[in-house]
Amino acid sequence: MTEFTSPIKQLPYSSATVFNVLSDLNNLEKVKDQIPHDKIQDFSFDSDSCTFNINPVGSVRFSVVEREPGKTIKFKANQSPVDVFLWIQIKEVNPQDTRMKLTVKASLNPFLKPMLSAPIQNGLDKIADVLAAVPYETLGEKYKN
């Protein structure tokens, strides 16, 4: 498996707030306009999965396979020409400082790796940027008891 990681993003929210917002993919509605339409098209989602079309890969559907509250959300690509896993890792430094990192693991054969590595890394970096800009405080309100 080839591994790609995003830069670590600093979020001024608690890990519980970040986790609650990111673990419900319906919250992507608030940031879908920030997704670069020249790179990702046909973006749709529900609470447990998201589907999009990305050049040169084609249509990809990621589904949540595991949620570890306050720490990790793991996804697996269901519609992909290769096995792909995505992890969103979050770590709370203090109640108003959470760090987030995205990791993609993909089984790329030696012929695909040179062609897909740069688009995967660029896409991962853009996704991390978009997720860092999510209005967690506003979206997190609905998770408070």
In the chain, the domains with their CATH numbers are 2-143 (3.30.530.20)
* pLDDT in the model for residue 138: 76
Q: Per-residue DSSP letters for the chain?
A: -EEEEPPPEEESS-HHHHHHHHTSGGGGGGTGGGS-TTTEEEEEE-SSEEEEEETTTEEEEEEEEEEETTTEEEEEESS-SS-EEEEEEEEEEETTEEEEEEEEEE---TTTHHHHHHHHHHHHHHHHHHHHTS-HHHHHGGG--
pLDDT tens, per residue, the chain with 145 residues: 899 999 999 999 999 999 999 998 888 777 777 666 666 677 788 889 988 777 666 778 889 999 999 999 999 998 777 789 999 999 999 999 999 999 999 999 898 899 888 988 988 898 899 889 888 877 666 655 4
- For residues 93 and 10, what is the distance between their CA atoms, to the nearest angstrom? 10
Residue 117 contacts residue 109 (beta carbons within 8 Å): no
Distance CA 53, CA 61 (A): 9
Nearest to 66 by CA among 85, 79, 80, 51: 85
| Count of CA atoms in the C-beta half-sphere (13 A) of 100 | 30
Q: What are phi and psi of 24, to 5 degrees?
A: -110, 100
Whole-angstrom distance, CA of residue 45 vs CA of residue 36: 16
